[in-house]
């Protein structure tokens, strides 16, 4: 069985997430050539009843390309196995 994943898994630390959506915008730009978080392979959801708490998840479409992790300004996404620059 061929593994279509491009890289090591992305580790998400939701406690560091600020909900900026940079990751989702970058991901949707890659897949759809547009800035549309609804079309990204990463989903950022604000927790109900919380002002600044988020839940991070990935859809089946995610192939661990690492773009979102590279662009997250808050260090909430880390691609495992890649040393921090
Ligand atoms: S690793 Fe790539 S495909 Fe997966 S959510 Fe991040 S940018 Fe999108
Ligand atoms: S780029 Fe980072 S801080 Fe911004 S929404 Fe995505 S995971 Fe959260």
Mean pLDDT by 10 residues, the chain (85 residues): 81 98 98 98 95 96 97 97 61
Nearest to 6 by CA among 68, 71, 54: 68
CATH code of the domain in which 15 resides: 3.30.70.20
Specify if 2 maps to a domain.
no
CA–CA separation, 59 vs 82, rounded Å?
22
Overall domain count for the chain: 1
Nearest residue (by CA) to ligand 2, atom 8, is 17
Domain residues for 17? Answer: 10-79
Whole-model pTM? 0.91
Q: Which residues contact 53 (CB under 8 A, 6 or more apart)?
A: 14, 46, 47
pLDDT of residue 2: 58
Specify if 54 maps to a domain.
yes
* Ligand with an atom nearest the CA of residue 60: 1
Nearest residue (by CA) to ligand 1, atom 8, is 27
Q: Give the DSSP per-residue string, 17-78.
A: -----HHHHHHHHHHHSS--GGGSSEEEEEPTT-SS-EEEEE-TT-----HHHHH-TTS-EE
């Amino acid at each position: 069985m061929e593994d279509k994943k491009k890289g090591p898994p992305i580790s998400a630390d939701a406690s560091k997430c600020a909900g900026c959506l940079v990751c989702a915008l970058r991901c949707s730009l890659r897949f759809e050539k547009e800035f549309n978080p609804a079309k990204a392979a990463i989903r950022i959801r604000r927790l109900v009843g919380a002002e600044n708490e988020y839940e991070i998840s990935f859809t089946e479409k995610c192939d661990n390309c690492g773009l979102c992790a590279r662009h997250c300004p808050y260090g909430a996404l880390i691609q495992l196995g890649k040393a921090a620059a």
